[in-house]
Each structure stands twice: as structure tokens, then as C-alpha cells.
Amino acid sequence: MQRYFMELSYDGRGYHGWQVQPNGASVQGCVAGALSLLLRAETEVVGAGRTDAGVHAARMVAHFDSGEAFDPAWLAAKLNRLLPPDIAVQGIRRVREGAHARFDALSRTYQYHVATAKQPFLRDRAWRVAPGLDFGRMNEAAALLREYADFTSFSKLHTDVKTNNCRVTQAEWAQEGEAEWVFTIRADRFLRNMVRAVVGTLADVGRGRLDADGFRAVIEAKDRCRAGSSAPAHGLFLVDVEYPADIYIG
Amino acid sequence: MQRYFMELSYDGRGYHGWQVQPNGASVQGCVAGALSLLLRAETEVVGAGRTDAGVHAARMVAHFDSGEAFDPAWLAAKLNRLLPPDIAVQGIRRVREGAHARFDALSRTYQYHVATAKQPFLRDRAWRVAPGLDFGRMNEAAALLREYADFTSFSKLHTDVKTNNCRVTQAEWAQEGEAEWVFTIRADRFLRNMVRAVVGTLADVGRGRLDADGFRAVIEAKDRCRAGSSAPAHGLFLVDVEYPADIYIG
């Protein structure tokens, strides 16, 4: 058996998230189905993480195994013809034995898009907010995320993870168009719902409901009830997953 | 009566084009309806041009008249709440008496988006082409458009315009992402279907079916049957309409 990493992008609107669900289409399910058909063997697909319902991916990485000999570029082209238009395979690469899309990831990067005016082309891919958010103050508060490790305040309750610690290495807002702002956050790992809860709470800072000290107090409380409400799913994109360079072979 | 220019953007997917149609929704119809409701008077809206069914606009300009006194920013906000999510008003400005959105336009600029790989986020806004188009050669041919005035070869047949002459001042392809190319064309005026016919014919050049001399021969033939087939509507955006600066007042 040879292990492969595949890079995927998808528009999350039509899916109940990455992970296979008992009711409703999932990206993982679609990809595993197409792969199993083309490789003529039931093939499991393991993603770098799970994106929630409605969340997009510009670059998701997933691994699978196959005993068949094939040209990765040929398989990627075949998959793209078989998969629906809102899921695309960007590439397939051989990786070393035991390489794991989830456990070997060094970091994940998410971006959250906010539209500060009505914009027809962003309506499915950015959170439309009332004008007047103070992104300078939001950046000041966002910088605090890098000082802390425990993000219990931004985690979904009752999840089964052993620790709520994450190492955030980037967290900043940047203006992209006249009326579009993008929040980029990178960390070794993320808790469920974390980015959307962080963005929702930063929006409270931008509206003046909370200042940087208040934001710090929310983090330090380690209490989900102290954070703001979650920003909607359709503004969120998984944009990168980083691996050690020597994981790829050939 | 005071005349106003409004700037609009719209996602053309849901509309039978800009112009009011007997059957099917039009952008002009939606905007005129909302304006008439808010201004409590039947209000006509005249666009800088007509975009065909499925064509988008990042910036369309249209004029209307009103005898009511109102703050343009207030009216724009009201319109944005009333109009569907795929049509947005970017701004409203007072213009001098007799200013005409169509007749006073100095130039129109269109962009045509092409995707050279499967891309979920471009599927509604770019023409997906087979890989291998030679954009260098397409640029060489595109440059020829600036040497000619009569574009009969790229016009819809049997239209009622008096002349098929246009002054093309820009026509070039530029790479935008890893797998996205954008054709920008600016002219004083465009014939119906002209940009899509030009793009379809340039794609023939990119595929090697036609060389620059062949493209020149197509232009010189002044015969629609010589040009390639039209590129699909969903890749085309009206991106700008230019007016003399002194048309605006206040």
C-alpha cells in the first residue's frame, strides 16, 4: 500500500461540513465515494481536520492509501471530472509511510472574511457587518491571542479533546478591498468553533462593546459564556495546512 | 427635477440581463421598482449600457430623476435594504442637468475571467477552459484590436446600431491567480455580444487554431461568421464606466 496526500478546495455551502454525517452530504463522503469508485476498492479519506457545516476550504489536505499503481495527475483529473463543481482536487502527492494528514500537520491557517458594505459577489463568502467596526482596535485585541495558550473561552462545550491549548502564531486583520476585511489566524491546532467564536468576540471589540482589556479578561476566564456569539460559517475558509517538507516523496 | 447617477453592482446569474424584459427578471426592472416605491413616483432608470443575460457588473452606472429632496446616502441605504442580495447600490450622486448615463459615457471597461483548472469559488464567475491556452499568443492577437475601428466581425447580426465602429484603448490578458486569467478591454463603446465574441476568438488563438495573422484576417473580414463562438456569459463583468469629471455636482 502507498499513502497519498491530496489537496482539496471546496465551497462549503452545499455540505454539512467535511466529516461524514449520518444525514446530509459531506465533503469527506463525496471524495471517499469518488476515490473508491476510481480505485475499485473502498478507500478511506482522512482529513487534516474537520470544517463545520457551511465552512469553505481553499486548501484542505487529506490522506488515503492505495495498492493500485497510478499516475497521481491522472487520478486528480479523473476525480475532478467525477466530483461535483463545488469540490476540486488541486493535486495528489506520494508521502512517506505512516504520514498522517491530521497528526503530522504543523499548523493550520484559517481566514475569515467580513464585508462592511452590501456586495453581491461576497454575499456567500463573507459576513456582512454593519459599517463602523474599528479594525485598529480589533487588531490590538487580536494580538493578545498570541500571548495565551488555553482557549477554553472560544471552544465548543463538551468536546472530547484532552486539552484546550493551542499555539497561535498569527492573528491579524487586513483590509482587502474597499469594503472587505480578512482575519488570518494560524495555530498548531484549533478547537471546535474557535475561529468563529474569536471573530464574533473581536467584532464586539470593533463595535466598542469590549476593549482590549475586556478581550483579555474573556480569554483569561476560560469560560465559553464570556465570549461573544460565533460569527457565521459562510465567512470562514481553511486556507492552508503545513507539513514537514520531508513528508513528501518522489 | 434633479438628475442623479447611481453606481450599481450585481451578480447577473439570476437575471435576464440589465434591460427590462417582458418575461423574466431584469436588474433595471428591480432597481426601477425599488426606486419608484421609495420615491413614491414612477421612476425610470437609464443604464450606461445593457449587459446580457447572466453577465455581471462590478460597476454599472444608471441615471434617474426625482423632484423629491433626499440625502443620496440615505436613499442608497434604503435601496440596499429593499433590493435583493445580488444587487447593490454603491453610491448615488447629483449630476448636472441633462447628464446622460449612456450618451455621456467616455468609455466602458469589461473584464472576462477564465479559469484554467477546476476552482469551486470561480465556477459561477469564470469560464473553465481546458489547460494549455497560450496567453502570450492571445495577448499578441489582442493588441491588434487597438489597430482597428470596425468590429462587425464581433457583433451580433441584425442589430439596429448605425455604425460598428469602436475605439478600443485597452485589450490585454493578465494572470490573476495560479489558475485564473483576466482579459481587460476598454473602448468608447461596445457592440452587442462583442466582448464574448472577441474572447471566444482569442481562445481559438490560444488553442493554436488561429494565429495572430488569422485573427487579423477575422477582424478585417467584417463578417461575424469568421469569428469564433462566443465565450459564456458568466465569465463577463462590466467593471467601469467613465464620465467627464464635471458631470458631477455637489
Return the number of other C-beta atoms located less than 10 Å from residue A131's C-beta: 8
**Catalytic one of B11, B52, B204, B240:** B52
B9 closest CB neighbour out of A9, A80, A120: A120
Whether pTM > 0.90 for this model: the answer is yes
Q: Name every chain A residue with its beta carbon within 8 A of the beta carbon of B88.
A: 117-120
- Pick from B229, B130, B235: nearest CA to B179: B130
pLDDT digits (tens, 9 = 90+) for B58-75: 999 999 999 989 999 999
Grid cell for residue A15: 455540505
Distance CA B174, CA B185 (A): 11
Shortest CA gap A67–chain B (Å)? 27
pLDDT digits (tens, 9 = 90+) for A46-57: 999 999 999 999
What is the pLDDT of chain A when averaged over all its residues?
95
Q: Name every chain A residue with its beta carbon within 8 A of the beta carbon of B86.
A: 120, 123
Q: Name every chain B residue with its beta carbon within 8 A of the beta carbon of A119.
A: 9, 88
CATH code given to domain B107-239: 3.30.70.660
Shortest CA gap A90–chain B (Å)? 8
- What is the per-residue pLDDT for B156? 82
Grid cell for residue B215: 485573427
Enter the ipTM.
0.88
DSSP string, A133-161: --HHHHHHHHHGGGG--B-GGGSPTT---
- What is the per-residue pLDDT for B158? 67
Place of cell 489566524: A185
User: Which of B118, B119, B123, B239 is the mutation pick for testing A, counting most A CBs within 10 A?
Assistant: B118
CATH code given to domain A2-103: 3.30.70.580
- What is the per-residue pLDDT for B143? 97
Distance CA B3, CA B63 (A): 7
Output phi, psi for B101, to 5 deg.
-60, -35
What percent of chain A is predicted at pLDDT more than 70?
99
- Pick from B58, B59, B60, B29: nearest CA to B45: B29
**According to CATH, where is 3.30.70.580 located in chain B?**
2-103
A120 closest CB neighbour out of B10, B120, B121: B10
**Catalytic one of A11, A52, A104, A204:** A52
Are residues B13 and B76 in contact, defined by beta-carbon separation less than 8 angstroms? Answer: no
- What is the per-residue pLDDT for B157? 73
Query: What's the pLDDT band for A66 if we cut at 50, 70, 90?
Result: very high
**According to CATH, where is 3.30.70.660 located in chain B?**
107-239
* 3-state SS, residue A187: strand
